[in-house]
Each structure stands twice: as C-alpha cells, then as structure tokens.
Amino acid sequence: MNTSTPHAFALFSGGLDSILAARLIMEQGLVVRCLHFVTPFFGKPQLIPHWEKVYGLEVEAVDVGEAFVRLLRERPAHGFGKVMNPCVDCKILMMRKARELMKKWGASFLISGEVLGQRPMSQRRDTLNVIRRDAEVKESLLRPLSAQLLDPTAPEISGLVDRNKLLGIFGRGRKSQMALADQMGLKEIPTPAGGCKLAEKENSRRYWPVLTRLKEPTVEDFELSNIGRQYWFGDHWLSMGRNEADNSALERLVRPGDAILRVRDFPSPFALARQLTPWDNETLQDAASLVASYSPKGVRAAEASPDGTIAVRVQINGESTFLNVTPKRIPALPWGEPEFVDVRKAIKAENRPTFDE
C-alpha cells in the first residue's frame, strides 16, 4: 500500500458510481485512496492496474474473505436478499474495515458511491442510516453522489469538502451519472452489474450446501465451490473440472484427506472429493463412474473392453488405488445440487429476515 497519507478512503467496486464518487472528491484537490474488497464471491483485483490507468485512481485490494465467510456462517443480522446476498451486512463489514484503515493511516473520512433510492432495500434512507450507524462511521462517511439529499457530514461541516460541489442524485436512473462521466471525460464506462455471485440463483445452489453441510466452511471451501461441476450426495461433495483451467484450479485447492479421481490411461477431468464424512467404497465407486463418463476416450475404451469398464485412479494423501468402473453419466446414487427453490425455502425456514433485493 502507498505510504502517503490520503485525505479519504473510498469503497471501490469498479462500478461507475464508485468511480464518480472518488473522482468528485479528487476534483476538490484531495488525495483519495480506493479500497477494492475481495472475497470468494466478489472482487476483481486483476483489474486494478487497468482501473488505475484508465480512471487515474489509486486502488488497493483488501481481502476480507475470512470475515465475510464468518458473516455467512453466523448468518447476516439484517438478512439475505432475494438469493443469498447479505447486502446490508456486507456494506457494514466493508465500512468497518475501511474505518480501521482510515484510523491506521490517519485519513479524515470515508467515501461511498451509494445513491439514495437506487436499490429497494440497501439504499433506502433508513437503511443507509442503519449501515452508517452499525459500521460506526456516522461522522466520517460521505456519499458524494447523494450528499445534497443527506445530512452534512464532518468533512463538509469542517470545510475540508465543499458541499456545494457535491450532488443530489436520487433513484435508479443513470442519466445524471452518465452526464457526470462525460463531463469528467471518462473514456470507458463500466457495464452496470451487481458483480456479487451470492446474488445469482445458480450460484446459490453451489454455496448453500457448503454453508449448511460443512461444520465450519472456510474461504477455500467456497473457492472450491466456484470451480467446474459441483455434485452432492448427502454430505459427500465432488468437484469436477470442465477444462484445463478448472483442473489446475482444483489441483491447487487439494488439502490433506481429499480424494483425487482421474481416469487412468486417458484424458479426463480432475475430480476432487472432499471428505466431510468418510466415503465408503460404494460411494467412491459411484463417483468414479461419474468422473469416467466425462472422458470421451475412456468411454470408447470401456465400450470396447470385454467387461465394459475402465480404471479410475483414486489418490488420498499420496496413496493410490484403482477402481474398475463402467462410465455412467447418471450413476446409481442421486448426485446433484439443490434446486434454488429448495435453497430459498431453507433460508426462510431458519426464521431469519430477508429483503427484496
């Protein structure tokens, strides 16, 4: 991180609102350092050099993965949105971390690109106030895009920031932001997108089993659930690569006790079986049959063999065994992911708050 002291830290997603909020304050001659938060569910730290070059910003990646996963394990105090997105608690977590860095580096205030009324729950006036209160940033948080519609903050009252140069944007429209981007000469406008995997129904089917079936899921567990094909049978969890990139990513996430399954003698996916409970031979055999079905050359070899089988290598902690299996895309055991409707029912069954966002 740059060792110079900024006037402000800005929460920075890479979206247009966060860019404009930071630039508005920079145009008043103040030094702004942008904080780009990273978890298994959001964050694109690989784009930081691009953002710095294109938008003239100073951006630092801040990993809050452990804290975020702990938030999910303990369940968000303000509930989930339409899927598994804990938007209000997420904002509170990031602002608390930003407040820590603000104090550590001696910055004067925080910046957020939130727009009053843009989102039906997390950007209502009362919710913005809850976020500010629970994150303990009531005096230090400035929302430049809607500042004229909100109470003056400490940097405005002190004169450090000229309130008259801030905006009063309200609602879901983008006209004001696009006009400001044009005025600032931004040559590249980010595509509007939430960017959080927890807000996507398909991803919730991957994440909910990890959250509810593991005793204490970790960042690495959720990273594993992001990769390739995901299969569950009870507490038996199988991850399978779709391509070489997936295979390499899975290989990096292997930990002691995991079982690695690959077809012997033929190209095949890299499959990782995470043993939440011990796998009996029947379950391992069934998983191997499923893995083998994704090896086209292996399937042809099995069809040509007298007994209709091929060998799958199973490696656990460096020890290898071989299973002869018949490749089956639909094996005997009911491998699969939960449907979203079941995930949603399970969330509601926990009797915790949810909100429409």
How far from 195 is each of 188, 191, 296, 332, CA to CA, in Å? 18, 10, 35, 37
Share of residues in the chain with pLDDT > 70 (%): 98
pLDDT per position as a tens digit, 124-148: 999 999 999 999 999 999 999 999 9
Strand partners of residue 80:
354
* Rounded Cα–Cα distance for residues 220 and 326 (Å): 32
Question: Which domains, ranges and CATH numbers included, belong to the chain?
Answer: 8-196 (3.40.50.620), 200-340 (no CATH)
Pull the structure tokens for residue 313: 């290598």
> Order of strands across the sheet with 8-11?
59-63, 32-38, 8-11, 109-111, 141-142
- Burial level of 133, CB count in 10 A (0-12/13-18/19+)? exposed
> What is the pTM for the complete model shown?
0.92
Token pair belonging to 342:
């079941």
Q: Three-state DSSP class for 296?
A: helix
For residues 214 and 172, give the distance between their C-alpha atoms in angstroms, rounded to a whole number. Answer: 38
pLDDT above 80 (res 82): yes
Taking the chain, what is the end-to-end CA distance rounded to the nearest angstrom?
34
Contact assessment for residue 118 and residue 149, using Cβ atoms and an 8 Å cutoff: no
Instruction: Output the pLDDT for position 33.
Output: 98
pLDDT, tens digit, for every residue of 231-287? 999 999 999 999 999 999 999 999 999 999 999 999 999 999 999 999 999 999 999
Across 282-308, b (16+ Cβ under 10 Å) vs e yields ebbbbbbbbbbbbbeebbebbeeeeee
Q: Which residues contact 260 (CB under 8 A, 6 or more apart)?
A: 254, 270, 271, 272, 273, 313, 314, 315, 316
